[in-house]
Structures are given as C-alpha cells and as structure tokens.
Structure 1
C-alpha cells in the first residue's frame, strides 16, 4: 500500500472526523507486540482499540523497541532476572519510509513500520526504529530498550518519538488537526513544530494537547538543559531561546511543564488526578487549563463475555461454574511456574501490576504475625498471588519482588509469578476473587488494572485513590479503605493506618461474606461488572477525548 497522503483506511464517523496523531512511548495493543511496560501502555492500547471501534480519525505514533521492555526471568533461587531478547514481528508492514533526524548534532536514520488496523483491531499505528545498518551502533541502540537507564539514550528516545514522530507525519502528508501527547515524552515535537511554523508559538499551541499521568512533581521528567541542547533536543534553538520560550530559567529542563505551556489544553486521568494536577501546577504562570478525562479499558478486548452472558441471564449456576473454571485455568499457570496447586474453591487475592514503591506490593505481608495467621486460617482459607515487572534499575522495587519470592517459599498458598504482560494480566484477573490495590494516596493518578479485573469477575479492594472514588460504593460493588487525614501523617503512619484497615475489612467483612453469604458476594461481583462496563469502557474515554480535549 502507498503511504503518501495517508488517510486512515476505514470510513471515519462524522463526529470523529478531526485528524489526530497520538504519541506514546508504549502501546499494549496485544500480547505478541511487546513494546510496553505497564499502565501507560495498557491505556494507550485500549485507546487505539476504541478509536478503531468508534471509527475515529486517529493514528498512533510509537517506537518499535527491539528488546521490548525486558523479559522477566528467574535466577536459580527464583529471584528476578531481567533478560533482553530480540523480538521478531512478521505481522508489521515495512512502510518503505526512511528519513533522518538530528541526535547529538549527528544525522540518524529512522525507519518506519506499520501496524495495520485489521491485525489487532486498532487505529493505525506507526512505529519508529533506528535499528538500521545505515546507523552507527550507538544510534542503533536508541530504539533498543524501552526506558533505557542511560540518561543520554533516554533523551535520544524522546527526540526519536517527538521530532521523529512529527517529521513522519510530514512524510505521510497526514496533516493532523491535533498532536496529542500521551505523557510529556514527546514534547520535543513542540520544538520541531515551532521551527516548522516560523517560530510562531501560537501556531504550535493551537495544534497541541497533552495528557499528564503523574500526580507529583518529583515524578515528572527533568533533564539537564545543556545535555538536552547538546543532544539536539531543541531543533536548533539556543539554551537562552529555550529558556525564554518555555518561561523556565532553571538549568533543569522540565518536560511536563513545557508541555503544559505549549499545549492549548491538558487533562488528568481521573477526577481526583485532575484536582491534584491543577493544585500542583497552579504556582506556575502560563500553563494551559487542565481538565479530567478518567482512564478506561477496552471492554471488548478484556471482558470475559461468558460471565456477562450468565449474569444477564441470571444463571447463577452457570456464573459460578464459569468463574471456577477461569480460576482453575489460571491456577495451571501458578502450578507450572511455582509447583503449587491452588484450589478454585478457596478465596483468592491477587496483587498484580507494575512494581513501584508507592504501590506497596508487600503491604499485606508487612505484619508477619497477621499475614501468617491469614494464610493459616482454617475457617476462612486464603490463597494469594503476586505478579508484576519492576523497572530493572529500580533496585528497591526489585528487592520488594525478591522478598516476596523468599516469603513464598514458606507458604504453599502464596505464589509469585513472572512474565506479567497482557495475557497473564487477563488470566490473573480471572483468577482473582479479590483484586487488591493499595497505593499510597494520592500517588496513583488513575490505576486501571482494577477496571479489567472487574470485567473478569474480581471484586476490587483498594485504597481510595485514582479512579476508585468514581467507582467503588463500599459493600455494593467493591470495598475501599476509608481515607484518613493523610496530609498530616508521616509515611509510616499512613502505611500503618492502611494496613490496619486492610486487615479489618478483609477479616470482618470480605471473608465472612465470601464463605458464609456467597449469594451477596456474587451480587457484589455482578454490580462491579455492570458498573465498570457502563462507566469505564474505553469507548466512553475515546469519545470524551474528542468531546472535551480535541474540540
């Protein structure tokens, strides 16, 4: 096919006719395409699927990571071993497009691959790669590892996505009405457009929108402005020009702040995150308004349709049988990886998502006596599974993962799995009776794993953060740890309060319900399934982006 004067290859719905280019560092469209690490990718993948379902005039721009994020393997003692293996994708099409961008004042060749909408039922996705023989080895490595630990490589990756993506759009002749940046990784596109439009910032601003995912300032990317300049990040502008243009006199270049000043409109990814973001950035003059569009996940891709059918037919026998079958099938993976046989009749807690300090993977284990009592309770037996990928250079999170592995050796009803990607994610949601989510409030911008858990018959049990305040009605469709006055608590006090509440609700409400009043428990599952389908299907989100952010 020809990629000249490119248009999306399906009929566009009139209300979604505005042309949008959606930039993201990672896209989780389907298990075989391993170019994602966690929630940001899961969200972008669901967004592209819904854009396809609604027939929106959108293309995705990403990077073809040669080694993906990493493959999660084990050392001899079962602890975490990151492994980088080359990926092959016969389903991607070679566009024949090649062009050069400047990185470190040096021309670098960019080759472009294409994910056809029909392959995984997504909006069209263009993927950039520098892994071509025309480049020297260092330039080839720019597109090797997602979130490379080397700072200069990471800045080069941001240039590839932003400048490379914006230049690709010109090569395609796509001419979008809007450039949508999913996180600030691609804000270098703003400098490319600034040069393209003869240094008229107003022309850039009217074309740029921005989604922020980070609810605290320290988490937003900042890099030495002189390093960025040396890396050709600013498309030929001097450091003084950049400081003046971005309104930031600091020697630390703040990617998110620049995005908020270049864009005409931005959004947080939950109602709470919108409030937190407005409060966090309000001290900076000249930023664009920040609205809220709550994250969601693609129901068609994630939901177990059989469970929904049984629920709608009020066939409780079929419903229970299906949930038990889903648990049993997932427990085959547990047995295969860990040699532990789990029982589908036993209450199963799952904690699975990206490992990060604030998500507190091991919170429930932090009181050894209570945890041991929980796992040896004969009246209300419990099984618990962990999975998730820590960033390999985040040594604290890797240690958290490994400590759980060591602890699991002492309990036959506790398992830690590796290889947490889309397929295992879905299986674990099907395995869960209770999807445990306990980030430190207000650190989770949205958190979407619980949405897809509810779509597979798991009941959410969470701290009151991210999307949860918009969803959980305690005891009706899930369970929530009531907020304390966290602002006036030290971190260890917050952890202790949440831990006490977690055990209190688990032992006094959740376990007795499951074992002594299953009819009510089943109704809670069904309420969660219904509410999540209604409010947190990404078709609603993709529509709101057109309705609220792009208009």
Structure 2
C-alpha cells in the first residue's frame, strides 16, 4: 500500500513504507528478479503543517512527478458494479536505485470523480473508498501483471491489503492448490484486533471477490458469520507466511495457531537499507573503529539538525548537550508523551540543562486523539527552550533526526510493536537506543549497546505506563546522563558497539536475501 522510495516520491506514510523502500533498494543492489506494485497517490499521505496558532494542520497538495513513465497499459476493474479505468506508471531502477516499480492510479481519463478519488489519499478514512483502494492494489495489480505480460512465479502480499488479488487470480484459473504454491504473505500486525475486518456482504457488494461463488469464497477464506478477516484469509491461501521479528513470530503463532487451515508462520526480522540511511563519514569511522572521530562527526550532524530546529521553532540547541529524540508515527500504543506524564519529574529533568528533547511524527490525519497529543506536546514545549516538536516528518527529516540525536527513545506497549525499525537506522548513525523490550530490539539489545527498561506488568494499563515512565526516567537520570558527561570514553565505546552490532544483521540486504531464499525460492 505504501513505498518510501525517496523523499521526492510521496507514496508512503511512515515505517511500513520506509521498510518497503529499503526492501526495494536491497533487491536492486542484490540484482534480485523482483518488481514492486504500488499505488500512485495523487495527494500522497498529507503534508504536516501548522495553523496560525501552531496546532497541527493537515494539508493535501497534488503531487507531480516527471520521472515516472506512462506504461501505456490501461484496463478496467469492476468496483461496486462500475467499470473503473486504471492507468499504470513505471519508475525505472536508475532513478532511485531500487527494484523496478509500477504504480497504479484511477485518476485518469474515463473515470468520474468518485472513481478518480480512489487513488487520491493513502489510507482514506471512508471505508468504501479504502476497500476500493485495496481492490485497486490487489485486483488491479494482478490484472496489470497479466496485461503487461509480467506474470510472476511468486506473488508476495506485504500486509493483507492486496488479498483481493487472490480472487481475481482464482477467477482466471480456478485451481486453488496451484495458486497457493505462488502466494506468500507478510503480516505486520501483532494483535488480533488490529487486523482489518469487514462485512462479507459489504465486500461482496463492492465486487471484492470478482464474481466467485460466495459459499466457496467463504470456505477458503475462513469467513465466520458475516465477518471477513483479511489477514486470516491471507494465511489460509498462502503457501508461506512470515512475521517481522522473532518476538512477533511467537505472538503471531500464538494469535493465529487455533485457526484451521492456515499456513506456517515463520519470521524474517525487519531491517533497513544501510547504503541509503548511513552517513558516510560515520560509516568510515565505524569501519576503522575510531570512536572519538564518530563523536566529532555526531556534533557536526547535531549542528545541522539544530539549524532545522531553529528554523521551525525558533530555539537554539547546543551540540555539546545530550540530545534525545522520539520520532515515529504518533499512535496511542507508541505513547509519544509517556515521559511527560509526571509533570514534576519531567520539569526537573528538562530544567536541569543536561538534556535537549525533540519530538516528531505524523498522526493519522483523522486520529484526533493522536493529533491532540501532538498539539499538547507542542504547547508544552513553549515552556522550555530545550524542548522542540517538529513537523514534516518524512524521509528527509527522519534521516536528519537519526543523524543528529544521541539517544533514540522508543517506548511502545510491549508486544504491540511488531518490529519498529526506526531504532535500527538511528543506531547505524551513532545513536544509542533507549527502549522498552519489544520488536527488533529483543534480537539486538544487550547492556553493552543500548539501554532497555524491564518489562512492566501489563495487567493494569495505568500502572504499566507509570512503571515504564519511571523506569525510562530512572535510566536517563541515573545511567545515560552520568555516562554521557562523566565517562565520555565509555559513552563513545557504547556508540561504536551499537553501530557494529546493528551493522550487518539489520541491513536490509540480509532481509531481502532471506525473503528470496526462505520465502520465494524454497
């Protein structure tokens, strides 16, 4: 549904897109026989701006790309009993050094405004339009491959958005057993309630099942009553599936293991493309083991980040002061404002002069709770010259933040973050992770390369959050600040260890190779 290929191509919202972009870059570098299919979002996700009172402003602007090539392949798919035209565009590998990409759009001649709007906004808030987007990706993607004579050996569904492709393929050749041999599925959702579900009759009305017999569709998809679970349907028709970290694999097998007819769920731990994300000077110094030189370069990168801070919020940060960043999608379970919950304790920390803290990230544009959290943090930041909340969290700002921070703060509710890859690219650029024990950090972290807080009892949400908050603040006050200022050689050694430990396994070349050998070829 989203690919974060480059800052200039607004076809992503956040981490899932960054991950897909890294996968495509590594596939290109490894010369894998792979292409990507996505949607050309006319207005992207949204541009994150500020209103006159500095509250978050959601702004949509038409995006134009001269580097995309019209393939000339046009065809129709049926949505809600209406024929909808689909046009297709090609992104050559040479533009951004990624695997060949094809993007679908309904914003084309022959369509009315409703049909055109299907490819306007990534993750549209209207349920009917969002399902139509899934049909564009799934049915449209599979039909494009047919029309373009690019019929693949393997179809890989990255999340269940494109599951409608299965029903299109069955409508063309009804042999489910043969089709299963070609289907792979990756789940990124670590809790059952987070998996997309719709009324079976609603989907049937939209044409989601391509005219197949409803009874047969319900049988092969695991439909219960009138409830269609997209992820369960994918698990039942795929030959293989994978979660995106070791812990997520355990959670997924426990979550789905009671279901009949599902495929085996393995895990391939997420990773990010080092070539794209890593500062070259830092990487040179890492490879030579020059911890002091890494520290010097970090101060230069902090200065560059702090120019952006000054430009956005009118504050001058100091490269010699310990800098903490929390930056990712604003969502309730990620708890962006956790360390501010005890105002007295946070006031003491932020007023000590020993830390600078930056927040950034995009809430879903219609998640008003997350938007409220973002705004509250911004208004709180007015009270402190060393606290900043930035807008425009896309690939460019994400890179700048990871280059310029000393500590990357990550505090999701444990088991709710399937992987959480932002800390990987922060570590690649000389930042030390401070995190709850969830997702990828369970395979990376030890007491020599990061700071991990103990897992809190999750039976009471309030007490869990309070415990995590206090543990994080304890680590900042009692371990991180003393080490940074009083034991700089120890700090620099930890930074180097973190960079070395994240270097190979968490590079997406390893991840792309595992997908190719474990999921596609085996």
TM-score, L = length of structure 2: 0.98
**Paired residue secondary structure (2:388):** strand
Alignment correspondent of 1:150: 126
Partners of 1:51 and 1:79 lie apart in 2 by 40
Contact 1:226/1:239 (8 A) holds in 2: no
Taking the TM superposition and a 5 Å limit, the aligned residue runs for 1:177-188 are 177-188=153-164
Alignment correspondent of 2:13: 37
Contact 1:229/1:238 (8 A) holds in 2: no
Deviation at 1:317, TM superposition (A): 4.3
Deviation at 1:200, TM superposition (A): 1.8
Runs of 4+ in 1 over 6 A off after TM superposition: none
Alignment correspondent of 1:106: 82
Alignment pair present for 1:534 and 2:504: yes
Alignment pair present for 1:389 and 2:380: no
User: Alignment partner for residue 333 of structure 2, among 350, 355, 358?
Assistant: 358
Alignment pair present for 1:370 and 2:340: no
Deviation at 1:319, TM superposition (A): 2.3
**Paired residue secondary structure (1:535):** coil
User: Alignment partner for residue 406 of structure 1, among 364, 376, 379?
Assistant: 379
- 1:60-119 deviation per Cα after TM superposition (whole angstroms, max 9, x unaligned): 000000000001011111111101100000111111111111111111100000110010
5+ long unaligned stretches in structure 2: none
- 1:97-151 deviation per Cα after TM superposition (whole angstroms, max 9, x unaligned): 1111111111110000011001000000000000012101100000000000000
User: Alignment partner for residue 480 of structure 1, among 430, 447, 452?
Assistant: 452
Alignment correspondent of 1:72: 48
Alignment correspondent of 2:491: 521
Partners of 2:258 and 2:146 lie apart in 1 by 36
Deviation at 1:513, TM superposition (A): 0.2
Alignment correspondent of 2:436: 463
User: Alignment partner for residue 203 of structure 1, among 168, 171, 178?
Assistant: 178
User: Alignment partner for residue 312 of structure 1, among 269, 276, 287?
Assistant: 287
User: Alignment partner for residue 215 of structure 2, among 225, 237, 240?
Assistant: 240
Partners of 1:189 and 1:401 lie apart in 2 by 37
Alignment correspondent of 2:143: 167
- 1:241-290 deviation per Cα after TM superposition (whole angstroms, max 9, x unaligned): 32123132321211000000010110000000000000000111110000
Contact 1:225/1:239 (8 A) holds in 2: no
Contact 2:221/2:234 (8 A) holds in 1: no
**Paired residue secondary structure (2:326):** strand
Alignment pair present for 1:272 and 2:244: no
- 1:22-80 deviation per Cα after TM superposition (whole angstroms, max 9, x unaligned): xxx00001100011001110110000000000000000000000000001011111111
Taking the TM superposition and a 5 Å limit, the aligned residue runs for 1:416-431 are 416-431=389-404
Partners of 2:296 and 2:257 lie apart in 1 by 52
Alignment correspondent of 1:506: 476
Aligned residues: 521
Contact 1:220/1:256 (8 A) holds in 2: yes
Partners of 2:235 and 2:66 lie apart in 1 by 39
Partners of 2:457 and 2:116 lie apart in 1 by 50
Partners of 2:385 and 2:70 lie apart in 1 by 49
Contact 1:355/1:391 (8 A) holds in 2: yes
- 1:500-541 deviation per Cα after TM superposition (whole angstroms, max 9, x unaligned): 111111111111000000111111111111111121000000
Contact 2:235/2:263 (8 A) holds in 1: yes
Alignment pair present for 1:343 and 2:343: no
Deviation at 1:311, TM superposition (A): 2.8
Partners of 1:362 and 1:194 lie apart in 2 by 47
5+ long unaligned stretches in structure 1: 1-24
- 1:457-493 deviation per Cα after TM superposition (whole angstroms, max 9, x unaligned): 111110000001100112x11110122343xx21111
Contact 1:331/1:342 (8 A) holds in 2: yes
Partners of 2:40 and 2:401 lie apart in 1 by 27
Partners of 1:109 and 1:206 lie apart in 2 by 30
- Using a 3 Å threshold, how does the CA distance of structure 1 residues 314 and 207 change in structure 2: closer, same or farther? closer
Alignment correspondent of 2:111: 135
Alignment correspondent of 1:434: 407
Partners of 1:450 and 1:317 lie apart in 2 by 22
**Paired residue secondary structure (1:58):** coil
Partners of 2:509 and 2:84 lie apart in 1 by 38
Alignment correspondent of 1:121: 97
Partners of 1:527 and 1:66 lie apart in 2 by 43
Deviation at 1:546, TM superposition (A): 1.3
Taking the TM superposition and a 5 Å limit, the aligned residue runs for 1:52-91 are 52-91=28-67
Alignment correspondent of 1:5: none
**Paired residue secondary structure (1:123):** coil
Alignment correspondent of 1:94: 70
TM-score, L = length of structure 1: 0.93
